[in-house]
Amino acid sequence: MDDIYTTCLINIEFLYQVSYYLRDWVTASLYLQIQDIKIAYKHLKKARDKRIGIWKQALQWQPKAGFEIAQVTLTSIYRNRGGWWLNTNRNLTINIPAYAAEQWSPQDIYPLEGRLVEARGWQHYRKNSAPSKAKWIWQIKHPNDLIPAQ
């Protein structure tokens, strides 16, 4: 019985020491990740300010498939089982799919109607759509991908 008790005490002591070191490691790891995010943000801001890389393109919407960053004016907004649908002053509709729509509340979306917004995301041409619908769909999945223009 004493051997089992001793073994348990040794294991508990070992686990305590390991958890102590793991806590320090996790803390250090989180600190490094936060530093990486700060560095990435600094470089992103510099690229955007100097118009380097993807930021060198004009922020005017272009009808082409692929990743796009542009400013558009939202003309109407509605929600259905397909998510949020934000119509623009172009031949473009911005879609926030249903699986991502919970990240936005109506209080976040509806005030954007009639405003100029900057959006980024993947767009594609919509085939077989009704003549009254926009031919281009722009899919956005994160709140940071749709912000009021400055």
21 pLDDT exceeds 90? no
Are 86 and 134 found together in one domain?
yes
The answer on 140 and 113 residing in a single domain is: yes
| Residue numbers of the domain that contains 32 | 2-54
- Residues 62-73, mean pLDDT to the nearest whole number: 81
Whether residues 72 and 49 fall in one domain? no
For residue 98 the two structure tokens come to: 């249903």
Give percent above pLDDT 90 in the chain.
18
Clarify whether residues 135 and 80 are in a common domain. yes
- What integer is the mean pLDDT of 69-87? 91
pLDDT at 90: 84
Burial of 130 (0-12, 13-18, 19+ CB in 10 A): exposed
Is residue 28 one of the residues assigned to a domain?
A: yes
59 in a domain, yes or no? no
- What gap in Å lies between CA 70 and CA 150, rounded to an integer? 12
* Residue-level pLDDT at 144: 83
pLDDT at 131 over 80: no
Q: Are residues 144 and 124 in the same domain?
A: yes
Count of CA atoms in the C-beta half-sphere (13 A) of 99: 1
Number of domains in the chain: 2
Taking residues 140-148, what's their average pLDDT? 86
CATH number, domain with residue 104: 2.40.50.140
Q: Both 144 and 71 in a single domain?
A: yes
- Examine the domain organization and report whether 105 and 84 are in the same domain: yes
pTM above 0.85, yes or no: no
Determine, yes or no, domain membership for 35: yes
Q: Could you write out the DSSP letters of every residue in 14-43?
A: HHHHHHHHHHHHHHHHHHHHHHHHHHHHHH
Q: Answer yes or no: is pLDDT of 22 > 60.
A: no
Do 107 and 45 lie in one domain? The reply is no
